[in-house]
Chains A and B, each alone.
Chain A
């Protein structure tokens, strides 16, 4: 049995007619770094404020260290909050800010001085005691806010998008620092962000929130590669969401089919039966692209079909690099066994709509026949795909994840 430090039981909260939290359940383990991830307005800040005691839930319980604190005042709870705007008291210097909680408890001066010194050392701001908050940069203010929040040794530290106001570079650096600090202190962190990258970088567990409920709670790896719902798949790493029908199951593999083509998915994690309508999620970086003419010649639309309008004379088609369609090229359909080829190139037919290059990755946007879009992320910049090209999008079966299973008709 792991040590549960905080439990939220069926928390409900509405403001006027708007239901913000709709029966939230959460267990937080001692010493863990858990991130509430969701878009703005999903209720994550309200959740944090309820834990801190700054809001009272309409119903439900907040159990902190085994004690029901739902209606306790914020100053009676052993939790501290770090705000996005840092909330450093502008009329107190760094030392006074950090020592505020200790002074409230009438800790003696020598201990205060020592504790402040240690806290500043921890956040690498030695010698900043006498500075006023407005003399500090954003990153330094953030560190002071964290130092202030940890000196009275809270059971839980609540962080409400603490890095939101920092620039990207500083944010990366602070992510690492926060993570290190958390490990060193062993304090439980409940962290809020809408930045999925930040969540994946720092967290032990991620709770993806949507409309006042948790959509999925799991380790970053689970949430990223095994999203339970299409919402999670889209929000964490913006996966492609496809709908279709299972047209056959063969042990570990299931055949997925829609009007764009056939694909294979792994049937290991979730049992599926033939005829079942399913939604799958595939990450862009798992989607491989192949020029369509390499596909099986009996497929409609294949260039070897005499009536294909777009590729009347395939081998000389000007849009493709010569080596790919030259009959002597080893992958040319002439040289490949037909069955094997079909297996190999199973995929969805699509047209390249757009391509953009960013951060060493070529992002190719594809349009499927129903007008929906799909994204493939490929490495390298010099890839032979131009807008208008017909391609086959395919992936390894284990990289496609079944999502939204409860929604199957």
Chain B
């Protein structure tokens, strides 16, 4: 009886493992391949001719490539900062606003996540043409900032929901003005959401092609755009090296983001019950 049950469990587990393995292969093998090929001596990707760092050297010698990389970093940094400010203000301010159209505004403001990027790119193009803005870093920054705002807004809003109103009320009673409450209580508590939103935005901006194609100028190139144009002239292992670097940067940023959001000081009911280890620590080493 138990034996058949055991074997059934085992069988189920095997199926689950096979499925999981398949998924991982599908998702990550291409990435791994690109990383491996970036160290390939041969110019032809499918032929392994030995380990080499020459494509990386070549990459760093490529002036236009470096310019594009610097552009991308500046763009990602500036737009994620701007998005953080605008998104946070929106998330904090929106619950206090008494607008009839509040629901509509909230809905619209999350649209950039849902609209296909290609349409968003078209829209920006039309808009900037109308405004007669010179295409280049400015238009890129505006476009990237606006598609990053929803991420910050939603993350911060979700975090705000988890903060009891009584924190602010207690602070007010203790003599804090609205400003004090924002800087002393609200901001520190939503900081993890802002930071992880910013890191997410940074990553989104860093690898955006579709929107950037529409809003960039003739002389301005971002890293993803550069790679994309290279694809047309044929993939060299240099591109693989670049992709590997970008993958590493994105990964680091995302890992940072999840680490920051896990380190949040907000106590949920669930977390409180798991707080035992620290109690033990303190009982072993009593303070004072």
Contacts and interface: CB of A to CB of B under 8 A. Distances in A.
Interface of A: 52-54, 73-75, 77, 79-81, 83, 85, 87, 89-91, 100-101, 104-105, 126-135, 145, 148-149, 152
**A-B pairs with the 3 shortest C-beta distances?**
A127-B288, A87-B166, A101-B174
25 contacts: A52-B169, A53-B172, A53-B173, A54-B169, A74-B169, A75-B177, A79-B173, A81-B169, A83-B166, A85-B164, A85-B166, A89-B185, A90-B189, A90-B265, A91-B189, A100-B184, A104-B180, A127-B286, A127-B287, A130-B287, A133-B267, A134-B271, A134-B272, A148-B174, A149-B174
A127 B278 CA distance: 16
B218 interface: no
Interface string B37-77: 00000000000000000000000000000000000000000
A195 B71 CA distance: 66
A135 B272 CA distance: 8
Contacts of B177: 73, 75
A287 B45 CA distance: 97
A135 B275 contact: yes
A134 B266 CA distance: 9
Contact of A104 (B175, B188, B266, B267): B175
Given A52-B169, A89-B171, A134-B275, 6 more contacts: A54-B172, A90-B189, A90-B267, A101-B175, A130-B288, A135-B279
B172 A100 contact: no
B163 to A, nearest CB: 9
A309 B173 CA distance: 70
Interface on chain B toward A: helix, strand, loop, or mixed SS? helix
Contacts of A83: 166, 169-170
A104 B176 contact: yes
Contact of B173 (A75, A126, A131, A132): A75
Interface of B: 164, 166-167, 169-177, 180, 184-185, 188-189, 265-267, 271-272, 275, 278-279, 282, 286-288
A321 to B, nearest CB: 54
Contacts of A152: 174-175
Nearest to B187: A91
Given A81-B169, A91-B188, A104-B180, A129 B174 contact: no
A236 to B, nearest CB: 29
A52 B174 CA distance: 10
A295 B266 CA distance: 68
B126 to A, nearest CB: 45
B282 A80 contact: no
Nearest to A138: B272
B189 A75 contact: no
Contacts of B282: 131, 135
Kindly name the residue among B171, B173, B265, B272 whose own CB sees the greatest number of chain A CB atoms within 10 A: B173
A75 B267 contact: no
Given A89-B167, A91-B188, A135-B275, A52 B176 contact: no
A129 B172 CA distance: 22
A105 B267 contact: no
Contacts of B266: 90
A87 B164 CA distance: 8
B271 A80 contact: no
Nearest to B278: A135
B175 A131 contact: no
Nearest to B177: A75
A100 B172 CA distance: 11
A100 B166 contact: no
B265 A74 contact: no
Contact of A75 (B176, B286, B287, B288): B176
B173 A80 contact: yes
A147 B82 CA distance: 41
A52 B288 contact: no
Contacts of B170: 81, 83, 87, 89, 145, 148
